[in-house]
C-alpha cells in the first residue's frame, strides 16, 4: 500500500481520469434507467468526441516527428494497437455466451485512455486538456457500448451494469495512476515516443472507432456535434500556440536584456 502514498491525487491526469470515469458512469446510469434515450443520443457524444480527438491527434503528430525519427512507426503502432483491441470487440458482437472478450477489450482500451492522460499532461497541459475533452466525452458512448455488448453476451441488466462500470469506468483512473508510477521512472525520450503512440491511438478513436457510432444519429445533428468538437479543439490549439509564442518572445527579450 506504500505506492498509494506516492500518488498525486490532485494531478490533472488523475482528475481528468476521474471525470472520464464519472461520465462513463452517467452513461451506464442512463442506459440502465432508460436504454432508449441513451442509445438515441450516444451518437452525438461520439461525434463531438471524434472531432476533438481527430484534431488533437493531428496536432500531436508533428511534435512527435520533432522528438523521434521513429515517430511515424510509433503513430502506426498506436493506431493498430487500438484497432486490434476493437477488432476483439467486433468479433464478439454476435456471440451470446462469452462476455469476457468485450469486457477485457473495452477495459484494456479504457486503461490505455487513462495512461494517455498521464503521457499527454506530462508533455503539455494544453495538449492534455484538448485530449481530455474528447476522451471524456466519448466515455459516455463507451459505457453504453460495453453495456450493450455484455447484454448481447447473455448477462442480465444489473450484471451488465456492474461489469461495464469496472470495464469502462474504473479502469480509466487505474491507467492514470499507473502512468504516474511508470512515467516517473522513464527518460524524456521515452515519454516523447509514448506521445507518438498516444497520437496514433487518438487518431484511431477519432477517425475510425467513433465513426460507426456517428452513423446512428440524425445526419445534421451529428455533423453539428462533430463540428463543435473540431472548433473546440482548434480553439484550444490556437490559445496554446499563442501562449507558446508569447512565452517565447518574452523569454527572448529577457535573455537580450541580460
- Over the stretch 70-111, which tens digit does the pLDDT of each residue have? 889 999 998 998 888 777 766 554 444 456 656 766 777 778
Top-confidence residue, 154 or 107: 107
What phi and psi, each to the nearest 5 degrees, are found at residue 19?
-65, -40
**Residue range 119-134: average pLDDT?**
73
- Phi first, then psi, for residue 158 (nearest 5°) are -65, -40
Output 154 or 214, whichever has higher pLDDT.
214
How confident is the model at residue 17, as a pLDDT? 87
Alpha carbons 72 and 83: distance in angstroms, whole number: 16
The span from the CA of 197 to the CA of 98, in Å, is 30
Predicted pLDDT at 253:
45
CA distance 227 to 221: 10
Report pLDDT for 96.
41
Give the tens place of pLDDT for each residue, 41-70.
777 877 887 887 788 788 878 877 887 888
Identify the pLDDT of residue 212: 74
Residue 7: its pLDDT value, please?
66
Question: How far is 201 from 57, CA to CA, in rounded Å?
Answer: 8
Confidence (pLDDT) at 227: 92
The pTM (predicted TM-score) of the whole model is 0.64
Mean pLDDT of 133-154: 73
What's the whole-number mean pLDDT along residues 169-193? Answer: 79
DSSP assignment letter at 217: S
Q: How many Å separate Cα 215 from the centre of its chain?
A: 20
The answer to whether residue 248 scores a pLDDT higher than 80 is no
Amino acid at each position: 500500500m506504500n505506492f498509494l502514498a506516492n500518488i498525486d491525487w490532485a494531478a490533472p491526469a488523475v482528475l481528468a481520469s476521474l471525470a472520464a470515469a464519472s461520465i462513463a458512469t452517467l452513461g451506464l446510469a442512463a442506459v440502465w434507467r432508460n436504454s432508449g434515450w441513451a442509445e438515441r443520443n450516444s451518437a452525438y457524444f461520439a461525434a463531438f468526441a471524434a472531432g476533438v480527438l481527430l484534431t488533437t491527434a493531428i496536432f500531436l503528430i508533428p511534435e512527435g516527428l520533432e522528438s523521434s525519427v521513429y515517430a511515424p512507426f510509433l503513430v502506426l503502432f498506436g493506431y493498430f494497437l487500438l484497432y486490434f483491441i476493437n477488432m476483439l470487440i467486433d468479433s464478439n458482437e454476435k456471440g451470446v455466451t462469452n462476455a469476457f472478450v468485450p469486457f477485457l477489450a473495452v477495459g484494456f482500451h479504457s486503461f490505455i485512455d487513462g495512461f494517455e492522460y498521464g503521457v499527454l499532461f506530462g508533455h503539455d497541459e494544453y495538449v492534455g486538456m484538448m485530449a481530455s475533452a474528447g476522451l471524456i466525452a466519448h466515455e459516455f458512448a463507451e459505457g453504453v457500448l460495453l453495456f450493450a455488448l455484455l447484454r448481447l453476451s447473455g448477462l442480465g441488466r444489473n450484471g451488465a451494469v456492474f461489469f461495464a462500470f469496472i470495464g469502462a469506468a474504473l479502469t480509466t483512473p487505474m491507467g492514470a495512476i499507473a502512468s504516474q508510477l511508470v512515467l516517473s521512472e522513464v527518460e524524456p525520450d521515452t515519454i516523447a515516443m509514448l506521445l507518438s503512440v498516444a497520437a496514433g491511438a487518438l487518431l484511431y478513436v477519432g477517425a475510425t472507432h467513433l465513426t460507426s457510432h456517428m452513423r446512428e444519429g440524425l445526419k445534421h445533428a451529428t455533423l453539428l456535434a462533430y463540428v463543435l468538437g473540431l472548433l473546440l479543439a482548434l480553439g484550444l490549439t490556437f490559445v496554446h500556440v499563442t501562449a507558446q509564442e508569447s512565452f517565447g518572445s518574452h523569454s527572448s527579450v529577457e535573455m537580450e536584456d541580460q
